[in-house]
Homo-oligomer: A and B are copies of this chain.
Amino acid sequence: MSKWFTEDWTNNVKFSIKIKEHLYSSRSKYQKIDFYDSYEFGRFFTLDDYLMVTEKDEFIYHEMMIHVPLSVNPLIKNVLVIGGGDGGSVRELTRYPSVEKIDMVEIDEEVVKMCQKLLPLTANKLTDKRVNLYFEDGSKFVKGTEEKYDLIVVDSTDPIGPGEGLFTTEFYQNCYNILTENGILVNQHESPYFDDTKYEMKRAHKKLKNIFEFATVYQAFIPSYASGHWLFGFASKGLHPIKDVKEDVQTKFKIKTKYYNLEVHKAAFALPNYVKQELENA
């Protein structure tokens, strides 16, 4: 009998992936963790039964999360990653020789350990010399640190469970405070399509635009996420994601990408009318 992993995209919409093998299941201090191997998406893992990362399309999420801010400010040296236990965001960051230091703050050590074991595709650069791993609550870290960062990457789960504190006004304000003058924050910003994620998209955008000089969202086609229309937040102390984009950053460092390119970068900020209206009314 074939086995399927099913995610409820809403109460009335389901997405199901045929499973080759259920590789691992446990309950950490923070959440339920499962790793699977599948026919269509390769290996993937879930937290509290929500799909996080698949081998088939993780490149889309991680490239768009990292290369967008790095093209806007190639002088980024000091980076803070909050969440992102799979290591994919760190992997893309390590491709820039210009990045000097990456602090990654992930609340759940078991996620990192298991990704290193079962998902080397994303986790294989967590041992880079520039990377410092902190297993603690990201919302506390940004409150207490005396470091300053050029870029903060909030690579969080949805705002339920352990990820909830990474969507609060206090958290965004603390991020703002520890960013340098040209600082940029990018975050996982939910989806505009189904009601639940749309609600969270609006809440996050409202908070970010009240704190940062500039805040918008950009989008990518991520088929394994609910609706396939997924958003990232881009907030800065002034840098503009299109006007300030540099044309040759990836070429200079010979970084080859499977999804990202400069046209895609600019296009990602062109929002459909219905999304613009929801954000204006946020």
Contacts and interface: CB of A to CB of B under 8 A. Distances in A.
A141 interface: no
B223 A228 contact: yes
A16 B4 CA distance: 13
A16 B18 contact: no
A169 interface: no
A22 to B, nearest CB: 15
Interface stretch (A5-13, A23-31, A44-52, A101-109): A5-13
Nearest to A223: B227
A130 B57 CA distance: 45
What interface size band does chain A fall in?
35 or more
A219 interface: yes
Of the listed residues A12, A57, A261, the one surrounded by the most CB atoms of chain B closer than 10 A to its CB is A12
Interface stretch (A90-98, A114-122, A202-210, A268-276): A268-276
A38 interface: yes
A14 interface: yes
A11 B257 CA distance: 29
- The residue in A57, A259, A264, A273 that gathers the most chain B C-beta atoms within 10 A of its C-beta is A273
Contacts of A268: 267
Interface in A189-241: 193-194, 219, 221, 223, 227-229
Given A14-B15, A264-B272, A270-B266, A223 B39 contact: no
Interface of A: 4, 10-18, 38-41, 57, 60, 193-194, 219, 221, 223, 227-229, 257-261, 263-264, 266-274
22 contacts: A4-B14, A10-B40, A11-B39, A12-B17, A13-B18, A13-B41, A15-B15, A40-B194, A193-B221, A221-B221, A223-B228, A223-B229, A227-B228, A228-B228, A228-B229, A258-B272, A258-B273, A259-B274, A264-B272, A264-B273, A266-B267, A267-B268
